[in-house]
Structure 1
Amino acid sequence: MSTMPSVINRFMDYYAELDSQPPSALAALYHPDAALIDPFGEHQGLFALQRYFTHLLANVDHCRFVIDAPLCVTDRFAVTWTMHWSHPRVSGGEKLALPGCSVVDVQDDQIIRQRDYYDAGEMIYEHLPVLGWAVRGVKRRVRS
């Protein structure tokens, strides 16, 4: 019997209120040897994931995900999402939205590998004073 709905529900619940989750809650969702890969790097093992999430959320005012219906096949699911977040040092603390998706592999009712895809430039770089101007300029040139 598949445990996918259980993992998916826990994933969706965890990320729906990411900013209020303690790092210890990751143990109920991620395998001890889990890998998380995103545009900022690769994090291997539960301890590394807990350290990464602690660092990411340290100064965030708000970080919650709205997750769309998953696409599932055997021990893998994929979801598209929108992260709603704010940080006092990014865009003056303005609430921002970032679209992305995750491809998640499951083993023994836990996440063993997660690959997140999103535009790091849109998330951070475009909101920095000088660098933001340059990144937005490059994107405009590519689009035209």
Structure 2
Amino acid sequence: MCDTRLVMENCIAFYRALDLQSLSKLRALYHDDARLIDPFGQHEGLSAIEHYFAHLLGNVTRCWFDVDQPLCEGDRAALSWVMHWAHPKLRGGEPLALAGCSMLLVREGRITWQQDYYDAGSMVYEHIPLLGIAVRHVKQRVAS
């Protein structure tokens, strides 16, 4: 098994039980100088990534991922996933689902770069009462 595929298998195992994991396990997955980019910002370095995860998990009651098999070529990988999560202030704490994908770069047996792609409106904004109405209206207008 190539190094990238092994790192992706470890990554998938981590994310499948994210809310049950110790964030100290991030050190085995991400390089000290890793960069994680998503629609909400850029996080430079392992300490910043750990802080970001701690903040995210501190605000939800559940969070886990269904992850498809990775596409790997050399030191690059792509993952498609569905994040399942629940936040006490969104939709009464009901579980929500969000589809997305991640592009990753692996070096020295750890992730050095990750960019996540997903619809931030579907994740948060559509679930805020008045703002949600506006976001859904704009999406409908663009789609028609």
Structure 1 length as normaliser, TM-score?
0.97
Residue 101 of structure 1: aligned partner? 101
- 1:83 maps to a residue whose letter is M
Residue 27 of structure 2: aligned partner? 27
Residue 40 of structure 1: aligned partner? 40
Residue 11 of structure 1: aligned partner? 11
Runs of 4+ in 1 over 6 A off after TM superposition: none
Shift of 1:59: 2.3
SS of the residue corresponding to residue 65 of structure 1 reads strand
Aligned-pair RMSD on alpha carbons?
1.0
Give me the whole-angstrom Cα distance separating, in 2, the residues matched to 1:112 and 1:59: 26
Q: How does 1:29-108 map to 2 (within 5 A)?
A: 29-108=29-108
Percent identity between matched residues is 55
SS of the residue corresponding to residue 60 of structure 2 reads coil
Shift of 1:15: 0.3
Question: Aligned residue pairs: how many?
Answer: 144
Structure 2 unpaired stretches of 5+: none
Structure 2 length as normaliser, TM-score?
0.97
- 1:44 maps to a residue whose letter is E
Shift of 1:18: 0.7
Residue 130 of structure 2: aligned partner? 130
Give me the whole-angstrom Cα distance separating, in 1, the residues matched to 2:72 and 2:100: 17
Shift of 1:117: 0.1
SS of the residue corresponding to residue 79 of structure 1 reads strand
Give me the whole-angstrom Cα distance separating, in 1, the residues matched to 2:90 and 2:57: 13
Q: Deviations over 1:47-70 (max 9, x none)?
A: 000000000010211110000111
Give me the whole-angstrom Cα distance separating, in 1, the residues matched to 2:74 and 2:135: 39
Give me the whole-angstrom Cα distance separating, in 2, the residues matched to 1:86 and 1:18: 13
Shift of 1:24: 1.1
Shift of 1:5: 2.2
Q: Deviations over 1:64-85 (max 9, x none)?
A: 0000111111000001100011
Q: Are residues 1:113 and 2:81 paired?
A: no
Give me the whole-angstrom Cα distance separating, in 1, the residues matched to 2:129 and 2:66: 28
SS of the residue corresponding to residue 69 of structure 1 reads coil
- 1:109 maps to a residue whose letter is G
